[in-house]
Amino acid sequence: MIHIDIWEGTDPKPEVDRFVEMWGLKGTILLDETGDYARTLGVRGVPTNVVVDADGTVRAFGVSRLDELDRAVDDMLKT
């Protein structure tokens, strides 16, 4: 899991630290301070999840609900 923080507006460091502690976030955490990368992908809201296959292909986009995300991951693992 790669987490990418976007749209903070202020210094993201303390805000992300607080968020990570509160929600027990695990995995790599990257900062997209300008939001440019999110914009490139057409991200319109948070959370947005992007499921990526081993060859770099996007298999699912959006899927913010846990059941949707589980289903998208299951589908990817079947391929």
Partner 1 sequence: MVNGNFAVGAACRIDVPAHSRRVATIPVGLDPEGVAADAARRRAYVACSRSDWVTVVDLEALEPIARVPVGKEPIDLVFDAPTGRIFTADAHSDTISVVDAETLTLVATIPVGGYPSGLGYDRESRRLYCGNSLGGTMSVIDLDSLETLATVEAEIGAGAIELDRERRIILCVNFIDASVTFVNADTNEPFGRIAVGTGACAVGVVPERGEAFVVNSVAGTVNRIDLDEVRVVEELRVGEAPVGLTVAPAHDRVYVSNRGAGTLSVLGVADGVEWTQIPVGDGPGGVTVDPVDGRLLVADAGSGTLTIVEDLLAGRPPAPALEDPSPLLGKRLPAFTLVDHTTGEQRSSHEWAEKRYIVNFFASW
What does the binding site for partner 1 look like in residue numbers (CB under 8 A)? 1-10, 12-13, 15-16, 18-19, 28-33, 37-38, 40-66, 68-69, 71-73, 76-77
For residue 17 the two structure tokens come to 């630290």
Q: Between 24 and 45, name the residue whose CB sits nearer to partner 1.
A: 45
Q: How near is the Cβ of 11 to partner 1 at its closest, in Å?
A: 11
Contact in structure between 2 and 27 (CB atoms under 8 Å): yes
Q: How near is the Cβ of 42 to partner 1 at its closest, in Å?
A: 6
Q: 3-class SS at 4?
A: strand
Q: Between 1 and 24, name the residue whose CB sits nearer to partner 1.
A: 1
Residues 6+ apart with CB under 8 A from 35: 6, 7
Q: How near is the Cβ of 24 to partner 1 at its closest, in Å?
A: 13
If you count them, how many residues does the chain have? 79
